[in-house]
Amino acid sequence: MADIFDADIVCDACKTKTVKGEILKEGFKIRAWRCPKCAKIWPHPLDMAQYEDFKKLKQRDFEVKLRQVGNSWSVSIPKEIINFEAVKATKLVRLSLDNPGRVSISFTQIKRVINRGQ
């Protein structure tokens, strides 16, 4: 299926062909078209929908259980966050202590290197 971002868009105000680019909102890269003449901006609708989903999740507070598993402790991550981050078995989680009483979890994608010469 074709993406709307592949299309050329003409500004409805000044009839100038728009330029493709990105805008940054709270760490999100949102694809957008910008009119070089009047500077009007049209964000990509799917990217904006994902950004709106993020804002809704960010406003929520989740209470999760802390459990002891052997010599370690585990925290359950709510399904809404897992779905939003598209976490699969190929993801790693980075855990860091930011400040006393504050821990952050970052999701990163595992990159596999394939040696084709061997």
Q: Are 29 and 44 in contact (CB under 8 A)?
A: no
- Any idea what the CATH number is for the domain that residue 30 is in? 3.10.20
In this prediction, residue 118 carries a pLDDT of 46
Residue type, position 9, single letter: I
pTM of the model: 0.65
Token pair belonging to 104 = 């952050």
Per residue in 60-117, pLDDT (tens digit) is 999 999 999 999 999 888 989 888 888 776 567 888 999 999 988 888 765 555 555 5
Per residue in 6-28, pLDDT (tens digit) is 788 888 888 889 999 999 988 88
Q: DSSP strand E in 35-90: where? A: 41-43, 66-69, 72-75
Say if residue 40 is in the same domain as residue 87.
no
Q: Are 38 and 16 in contact (CB under 8 A)?
A: yes
Per residue in 73-82, pLDDT (tens digit) is 998 889 898 8
Q: Which domain holds residue 47?
A: 4-59
Look at residue 28 and tell me if it is in a domain.
yes
> CA 25 to CA 41: how far, in whole Å?
14
